[in-house]
Structure 1
Amino acid sequence: MTETFYWGPRKSKQPTNLFFVSPVTEKRFSVQQSPLLIAEKSAELFCSYTSTRQNIEAMKATLFKGTNRSLKVCSVDCNTTCQTSNGTGFNCQVTFNKTEKVFIFNLQNLQVNQTDIYICKIEVILQPPYESDESHGTVIHVIAAEPDTQQEEPPKYPMAMIAAVGALSFYNMLITAVLFHCWFKNKKNRIIRNDYFNMIQWQESNGPKKRHRPPAVLARDYTAYRSWEP
């Protein structure tokens, strides 16, 4: 009895597993926000989006407060123009830049207790199909404003103004001194004229005053008194 040996590869009876890789579809519309924003009294939150569509005619952007999106901060509807509506307790203005594909939420008069996460949601209204997306949100940390302890600086006047004021003051003092000198000189001249007496005019009106000599006194004859002589 002859035995036959087969030295070739043995055929496997196990079934072959085939893996089918499905093509990954890229997201056509997505929204991005910065993770953190520190603000004092106001904040500008940028909410940008990416889209492969070219026929978007109408969009809506809404900003929510809180992880559960329970509070609506503000929203804007943009078609040919944009109209903004504010939520309760917020002062919000929205600017839409279609070229840059970004919505800018400008929040004013923020308080410290309004620190929270703010989530932006953008919707494509026209043209169909409808699309929407929202980001992971931005934490806006509102800090208290520090009191202004700096003293107010005195106003800085320009050198030209200081020079002009100095020149006017100098001319004012000079004019005052000249006027005082003229006044004093005029007063002195008036005093001298009051003390002067015009002798020439008095002599012409009254004529020369000649002193009259007293009548001649006869010489005494002292011999009449010589009675004692012999």
Structure 2
Amino acid sequence: MSALAGVFNASSSLFTMDFYSRFKPKASQAQLVWVGRAATVVMVIIGLLWIPVIQGGRGLYDYLQGIQAYLAPPIFVVFFFGVFMKRLNGPGCLATLITGFAMGLFRLAVDTPVKLMGTPYAEGSFLWVVNNIFFQYYSLLITVVCILVFIIVSYATPQPDYAKIGGLTFSTLTEEDRRATRATWSMRDVLLSILLVVIIISIYLYFTG
């Protein structure tokens, strides 16, 4: 219940502060609270209506894994490549997020009717092919497309102001930044991290046989 409460609270706050307050900048605190409560009620209703879709799949865990696989790739690409490549810019980031989320939402739109009604698409059709691609393969496809979009759009548009991104990418780190970062960890942290990786791999190998 606490997890659900956190999700509903975060969703209502997101809608109220990032959307409603922008359209109604002079809204009072009482109005914002009322809108937040209304947004929470709407989210609860949407959640209840979505239960049949989840039941139509292979369970809540598999459904959540699919959702993450479809929506996480563009976020990963933006953060990961943004840290290592200073030439990537804002327009490339925006194009990547839009492209990735569009591909993810398209897959969700294709999968949902099948899970809800249990009627598959005509075998051999385009929608049937999309629906039957293993979700991790589709996630990999989104990742590859997002990487290409990020790089192509970034290099086709003006380069970012490197002064503004100083210290945010590896290429723009100064010696002072490197020393400050190095001071935040020790060999003990490295050894514990290695131990954690070994434990995770061991657990994975144990349960996969």
Fold equivalence (TM over 0.5):
no
Instruction: Give the TM-score band, short-chain normalised.
Output: under 0.3
More strand by share: 1
**Normalised by the size of structure 2, how large is the TM-score?**
0.20
Structure number, greater radius of gyration = 1
**Normalised by the size of structure 1, how large is the TM-score?**
0.19
Structure showing greater relative contact order (alpha-carbon pairs closer than 8 Å, 6 or more residues apart) = 2
